[in-house]
């Protein structure tokens, strides 16, 4: 029997990997059979967040790649190439955290677009802040 192979794609920096990251990968994977994750390049992170990530690009890629829900990773080097990345992976579903609510609705002609609620009480920025204050 031919099993439908539904492809899910999601994106993020995944710096200082935390439980919110794991949760979104697990929930994204539940939308299909394969999950591809576009991990922001160091360059794109500088552009998006105005700072270099704590963990360098190859390390962030390796960490995400080896998470159980993830089929494979690729480097996301431009926010403007989302449509291209989705086509390259034959995406059926784009999953984004709801910090991006509505921002990718124009991609609905390529695939389904789903925004998932963020895990409350944790972010990379807050974690870095906490570590800095720790004595
Ligand atoms: N995410 C989530 N819940 C959180 C934090 C992140 O669901 N508490 C999701 C984001 O919505 C995104 C993915 O994880 O889809 C990657 O987010 P990223 O920006 O790398 O992590 P943040 O912790 O939000 O990083 P920062 O504080 O630097 O913005």
How high is the pLDDT of residue 2? 58
Predicted confidence (pLDDT) per residue in 88-118, tens digit:
999 999 999 999 999 999 999 999 999 999 9
How high is the pLDDT of residue 134? 84
What residues flank ligand 1, with Cβ below 6 Å?
Answer: 12-15, 20-21, 23-24, 49, 96-97, 99, 118-119, 122-125
**Residue carrying the six token digits 């160091």:** 42
State percent of the chain over pLDDT 70: 97
How high is the pLDDT of residue 47? 95
Are 79 and 49 spatial neighbours (Cβ–Cβ below 8 Å)?
A: no
d(CA 16, CA 53): 8
Atom of ligand 1 nearest to the CA of 126: 27
User: What string of DSSP letters covers 61-111?
Assistant: HHHHHTSTT-SEEEEE--GGGHHHHHHHTT-SEEEEEGGGTTTTGGGGGTS
| Ligand 1 pocket test, candidate residues 123, 127, 129, most atoms within 8 A of CB | 123
How high is the pLDDT of residue 1? 57
Q: Distance, CA 12 to ligand 1 centroid (Å)?
A: 7
| Ligand 1 pocket test, candidate residues 97, 98, 121, 129, most atoms within 8 A of CB | 97
SS3 at position 14: coil
Is the pTM here over 0.75, yes or no?
Answer: yes
How high is the pLDDT of residue 3? 59
Atom of ligand 1 nearest to the CA of 117: 7
Mark the ranges of the chain whose per-residue pLDDT is less than 50.
none
User: How many Cβ atoms are within 10 Å of 18's Cβ, its own excluded?
Assistant: 15
């Amino acid at each position: 029997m031919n099993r439908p192979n539904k492809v899910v794609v999601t994106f993020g920096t995944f710096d200082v990997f935390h439980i919110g990251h794991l949760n979104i990968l697990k929930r994204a994977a539940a939308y299909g059979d394969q999950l591809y994750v576009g991990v922001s390049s160091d360059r794109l992170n500088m552009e998006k967040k105005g700072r270099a990530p704590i963990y360098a690009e190859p390390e962030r890629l390796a960490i995400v790649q080896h998470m159980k829900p993830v089929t494979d990773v690729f480097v996301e080097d431009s926010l403007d190439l989302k449509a291209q990345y989705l086509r390259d992976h034959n995406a059926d579903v784009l999953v984004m955290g709801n910090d991006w609510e509505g921002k990718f609705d124009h991609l609905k002609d390529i695939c389904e677009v789903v925004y998932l609620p963020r895990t409350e009480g944790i972010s990379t920025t807050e974690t870095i802040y906490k570590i800095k204050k720790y004595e």
